[in-house]
Amino acid sequence: MTRLTLPSLAALLTLAACDAPADGPVQDPEPAERLATGPLTPAGPAQTVTADADVNLQHAAAVVELDEIQGQGTLTAKLFGTAGGDPAMNGLYVHAAFFLSPAEGWRVFRIGDVLDYRVLSTGPGRVELEIDESVMDPETSEIGSRTRRMILGWAPGAEGAPPETVTVTPAQ
C-alpha cells in the first residue's frame, strides 16, 4: 500500500490545481461537442410566430455590426454599422449613437460609408478606429482599397449629457 505524506499530498494538490478551470463564466461547448450529444428532440408543442409588422424593425434588421463603447461614465454610447449601400463600393454605414432617454431614444451620427471597421481602443470621449474602404481611381475608374485610421471624439454635454457634435480626425 502506498502512503502519502503531508508534503507529497500538498504537492499532488498543487499539481491538480494547475488543471482546474479558472473562475469565470461557463463557456458554451464548441459546435462539434454539441453535435456529439446528438440532435435535439421536441419536448413540447411548437408555437407559430408571425412576422412583426413594426416598420422600425426594418432599420434594426439592417444592423450588421455593433460595438458598445465602454468607459464613458454615465453616458451610454455605441458604434454600429448598417448594410445598405453598394457592396462593390463600401456599403457599411458606420454610426456613433448616444442614448438620450427612453422617450427620446438615441442621438445618432453617421461616421462614414466603409467596407469594415475595427475598434482599436476606447477612452473617455474617444474611440480609435481602423477603417477598410473602397476607393475609386478618378483617372481609370478602377476600384481599389485602402486601410486608414481615425479618431472619433466628442465632449459630453452638461452633467454627462450626450454630445451635440462629434469629430472625426484622420490618424496614424
pLDDT tens figures, 90-108: 999 999 999 999 999 999 9
Q: Which residues, in sequence order, are CB contacts of 149 under 8 Å at separation 6+?
A: 120, 128, 129, 130, 131, 170, 171, 172
Q: Is 44 helix (H, G, I), strand (E, B) or coil?
A: coil
* Residue 164 confidence (pLDDT): 95
Asked whether residue 88 carries a pLDDT value surpassing 80, the answer given is no
Structure confidence by residue, pLDDT tens digits, 30-79: 666 656 778 899 999 999 999 999 988 888 899 999 999 999 999 999 99
Asked whether residue 133 carries a pLDDT value surpassing 60, the answer given is yes
For every residue of 66-86, which 3-state class applies, written as one string? EEEECCCCCCCEEEEEEECCC
The cell 507529497 sits on which residue?
8
* Residue 6 confidence (pLDDT): 39
* Residue 12 dihedral angles phi and psi, to the nearest 5°: -60, -45
* Residue 85 confidence (pLDDT): 66
Q: Which residue has the higher pLDDT, 88 or 52?
A: 52
Contact (CB, 8 A) for 94 and 111:
yes
Beta bridge partners of 68: 78
Structure confidence by residue, pLDDT tens digits, 6-26: 344 344 334 444 444 445 555
